[in-house]
């Protein structure tokens, strides 16, 4: 088993991790904001319902959620999970919901940390509520949530390998294929992929923080 074969197979596996990472962020970031608004709603049924949902998702293992999304439709309703790549689709649904809930709390923390004076200043200038949120508040929120978000992003890329419990052929699962043939070093070598990816994210997040440094909130 040559180094380059192992490498190219692991890259194919890692592409699955990155794909899941990308899809999750694409949908969970906006969905998280919607959930955050729900849990801050002044209409208490919406608020309680949203917070109950967040509690369930944050309070149960992601692994279990993967099982539920992928297997329960077949077990309960006798239908196969649809799509050309059902395992990846199921994993993406579970990850988007799970991460959106975590993101929502980060958003909520960010939004609630903005002093009342900022809203009042906007109102004094004659802005509508929506204008105040998007033109005054949001950028300050983004600045404040960058560090906790970078935590979540790094957790996410490593969490994606959990999708192998429903047999998404991620990098760890590919490495497992080599172990099954008695070759064990690729499993440990996968660490390098995650390390490089997280290193890149650290650099990117550092840049973002620097760019947002032009105003002090």
Partner 1 sequence: MNKKVLALVLAIVMMLSFAACGGNGGDTTTAAGDTTAAGETTAAEDATAEAGESDLAYIQNKGEMVIGYTLFAPMNYEDDNGELTGFETEFAKAVCKELGVTPKFQLIVWDSKETELKSKSIDCIWNGMTINDDLEKNLSISTPYMANKQVLIVKKENADKYLKAEDMKNANIVAEKGSAGERTAQTNEFFAGANYTAVEDQQTALMEVFGNKADGCVVDYVLSIGMIGEGTSYEDLVVVDSLAFEPEQYGIAFRKGSDVTAKVNEAITKLVESGELQKIAEKYKLAEQIIAK
Binding region for partner 1 (CB under 8 A):
1, 5, 9, 48, 51-53, 55-56, 67-68, 70-76, 78-81, 86, 164-167, 169, 173, 176-177, 179-185
Report in angstroms how near the CB of residue 212 gets to partner 1 at its nearest: 35
Nearest to 17 by CA among 201, 157, 151, 154: 157
Distances (CA, A) of 114 to 117, 123, 133, 146, 171: 8, 15, 11, 15, 41
Q: Which lies closer to partner 1 via its Cβ, residue 67 or residue 133?
A: 67
Q: Which lies closer to partner 1 via its Cβ, residue 158 or residue 177?
A: 177
Report in angstroms how near the CB of residue 188 gets to partner 1 at its nearest: 11
Report in angstroms how near the CB of residue 35 gets to partner 1 at its nearest: 15
Distances (CA, A) of 59 to 65, 101, 157, 162, 204: 11, 11, 20, 17, 31
Q: Which lies closer to partner 1 via its Cβ, residue 31 or residue 165?
A: 165
Report in angstroms how near the CB of residue 111 gets to partner 1 at its nearest: 20
């Amino acid at each position: 088993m040559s180094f380059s074969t192992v490498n190219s197979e692991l890259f194919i596996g890692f592409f699955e991790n990155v794909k899941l990472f990308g899809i999750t962020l694409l949908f969970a970031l906006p969905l998280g904001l919607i959930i955050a608004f729900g849990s801050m709603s002044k209409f208490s049924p919406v608020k309680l319902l949203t917070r109950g949902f967040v509690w369930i998702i944050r309070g149960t293992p992601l692994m279990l959620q993967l099982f539920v999304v992928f297997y329960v439709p077949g077990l309960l309703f006798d239908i196969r999970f649809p799509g050309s790549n059902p395992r990846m689709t199921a994993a993406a649904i579970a990850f988007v919901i799970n991460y959106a809930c975590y993101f929502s709390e980060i958003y909520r923390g960010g939004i609630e940390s903005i002093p009342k004076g900022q809203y009042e200043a906007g109102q004094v200038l004659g802005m509508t509520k929506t204008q105040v949120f998007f033109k005054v508040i949001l950028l300050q929120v983004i600045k404040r949530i960058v560090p906790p978000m970078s935590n979540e992003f790094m957790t996410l890329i490593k969490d994606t390998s959990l999708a192998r419990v429903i047999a998404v052929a991620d990098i760890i699962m590919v490495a497992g294929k080599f172990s099954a043939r008695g070759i064990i070093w690729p499993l440990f070598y996968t660490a390098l992929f995650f390390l490089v990816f997280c290193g890149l994210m650290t650099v990117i997040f550092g840049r973002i923080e620097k760019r947002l440094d032009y105003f002090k909130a």
